[in-house]
Each structure stands twice: as structure tokens, then as C-alpha cells.
Amino acid sequence: MAGTLYVVSTPIGNLEDITHRAVRVLSEVGLIACEDTRHTRKLLNHYGIKTMTVSYHEHNERERAVELLESLESGLDVAIVSDAGTPGISDPGFRIVRLALENGVPVVPVPGPTALISALVASGLPSDEFFFAGFLPARSGQRRTRLLELSSIPATLVFYEAPHRIAGSLRDAREILGEREAVIARELTKLHEEILRGRLSELGQRFSSGEEGRGEMVLLIDRNVIEGAARESDASEISSIVVALEAEGVDARSALKKAARKLGISRDEAYRRLTAERSREKG
């Protein structure tokens, strides 16, 4: 009989945020595969869990998944955990789950914290439909292209973000998505938990100094453009959209056509606005 692979959620900051079931499963399995064994050991010590651990992270995921499968096939129950929250959510986990399922090994989730859900439910933005897009690309050109792809999704957009990139992401989001309500949820469940709400431009100003970019954070953006603000910004918006597309290798004609379609205006009108914007920039 093969063992079972348990996908176990652990705290995202506050050690109390772990279920009774997670503690029991972590105590009873034969092996815990951790992103960072030293990090997880602190949690295990806190709950008096003595189970053996092994590392399973993005650099050894492929080989380690095969070894874990062998353990599972020999009958050992294995739990997988990440440094924080739910494995497989912007963290390793997917590969071993796939491999286990392909080989007939049962996979059982042990649910618990994940930063995106905690952020969403406290954000005050609609939670009926949301789109989790993980981390945005680090480089501005690719980030803008990605934002453009996401711009027409009728759902709250949720991103994980690094402190040193938040100012750039807010600036690009404001330019590509237009003015929208946004929320930054940082250090959730920790001592300095803070939930900041405002327009993209307001949050952008706050973070552009760089001083505020500390801690772990989730960025959430409303699905709707704020009406009046959208009109004020149409001109700069079209230029940003065209620049983002051109940076990805789209030729000037097609970039203008796509930008016009996105803004719901004719190509002539798009061209007129773009020219006006560019001559303003030059003058």
C-alpha cells in the first residue's frame, strides 16, 4: 500500500495560525518535506513535533520529487510544507503533487493560511470573483505587458509583491490599468500588520520614497477604473500602452490598433491622442 502525500498549510507569521489537524498530521507522518528545514524546525519545535525533515525547494525540486515518490511508494506517509502558508501557492509543491497523482499515490490537502486569501477578505474589495496572478515580472517592460493582459479581467486582481518592487509596480499599474482603488496588505498576522487603502496613484506616491517598502506584502487592485480619473488620464494611458507593446516587439501600427481597442476608441482618435501626448512631452 502506497503512503499518502499531505499538502499542509502552515502559518504566514503568527505561529498560532495552524490547525489541530495540521499539527496531528505533521506529528504522525514519517517524513516532512520542507522548503527550508531550519525554518520549519522552529515551528515543529514550538509544537513538540519530532518528525524527520528533508529539504524540498525550487533548486532540488525535480530530483527530490522522485525520491519522495519512492518513499511514498514504499508505504511512508509524507507531508509537504513551505516556509509560509500553503505549498504550491507561489511556492514549491506542484511537481510532487503531479508526480504522486500520476503514480496513483493519494494526495490529501490539510488547509490553512495563505496570504492572498487573508489579504482579500480584509481588503474591502469585492471577493466574489478574484484573479490571483502571483508575482508580477521584475522588469518594467514585461510587467507592463503582463498588466495589459490582465487589464480587462472583470475581477479583483491579487498579486504577491516584493518590497523593493512595490513602487515600480504601482506606477506601472496606474499607467496601464488606469486609476483604480487598490489595497496593500502587509505583514499579515504579524506585529506590524497594516492594511493600506487608496487609489493606485495615492499608494504609488506613498511608496515612491522607498522608505515604506518594507515587509511582506500583497497588492490588490479593483476591477473597475474610477470614472472621472480615467478620462483625465486617457492621453498618458495610451502612450504607456503603446510603449509597453512596442517594448515586447509589437510593431507601431499594431500597438496603436491594440491600444485603441483596449480604450474603446477609434484608431484615428488613438493616433490623435498619441501625437498630442508626444508633442506635449517634447515641448
92 part of the interface to ligand SAM, by CB under 6 A: no
Helices 227-247/252-263 angle, 10° precision: 160
Which is closer to ligand SAM, CB of 12 or CB of 255?
A: 12
From the number of C-beta atoms within 10 Å of its C-beta (0-12, 13-18, 19+), residue 62 rates as exposed
Residue 29 found at the interface with ligand SAM (CB under 6 A):
no
**Which among 150-158, 166-174, 186-194, 250-258 is the span making contact with ligand SAM, rule CB under 6 A?**
186-194
Residue 133 or 238 with smaller CB distance to ligand SAM: 133
Residue at 60: amino acid letter: N
Q: Does 160 bind ligand SAM (CB under 6 A)?
A: yes
Measured at CB, which residue is nearest to ligand SAM? 85
Decide if residue 110 touches ligand SAM (CB under 6 A): no
Identified binder of ligand SAM from the candidate list 71, 114, 201, 233, rule CB under 6 A: 114
Per CB under 6 A, the list member of 36, 67, 187, 202 interacting with ligand SAM is 187
Residue 216 interacting with ligand SAM (CB under 6 A): yes
Which CB, 10 or 233, lies closer to ligand SAM?
A: 10
Q: How many helical (H) and strand (E) elements, i.e. helices and strands, does the chain have?
A: 11, 10
Alpha helix stretches (DSSP H) within 14-163 = 20-28, 37-46, 61-73, 94-102, 115-123, 140-150
Q: Which is nearer to ligand SAM, 113 or 178 (CB)?
A: 113
Q: How far is CA 48 from CA 43, 73, 80, in A?
A: 9, 28, 18
The DSSP secondary structure of 128-170, one letter per residue, reads SSEEEEEEPPSSHHHHHHHHHHHTT-SSEEEEEE-GGGHHHHH
Of 85 and 168, nearer to ligand SAM (C-beta) is 85
Q: Taking CB under 6 A as the rule, does residue 218 contact ligand SAM?
A: yes
CA distance 261 to 44: 54
Q: Which cell numbers hold the place of 81?
A: 510544507
Residues in binding contact with ligand SAM, number by CB under 6 A: 24
185 binds ligand SAM (CB under 6 A): yes
Sheet of strand 181-186, all strands in order from the earlier edge strand to the far edge: 130-135, 156-161, 217-221, 181-186, 194-199
Residue 144 near residue 138 (C-beta atoms within 8 A): no
Write down the least CB distance from residue 156 to ligand SAM, Å.
Answer: 16
Binding of residue 17 to ligand SAM (CB under 6 A) = no
**What is d(CA 15, CA 205) in angstroms, rounded to the nearest whole number?**
34
Only one of the segments 60-68, 211-219, 231-239, 271-279 lies at the binding site for ligand SAM (rule: CB under 6 A); that segment is: 211-219
Pick one of 86, 156, 169, 239: the residue that binds ligand SAM (CB under 6 A): 86
Task: Give CA–CA dist 2/38, Å, rounded.
Answer: 28
Of 189 and 224, CB closest to ligand SAM = 189
Alpha-carbon distance values, 129 to 25, 97, 218, 219, 222 (Å): 32, 26, 17, 16, 11
Task: Select 3 or 112, whichever has its Cβ closest to ligand SAM.
Answer: 112
Residues that bind ligand SAM (CB under 6 A): 12-13, 82, 84-86, 89-91, 114-116, 160-162, 185-190, 216-218
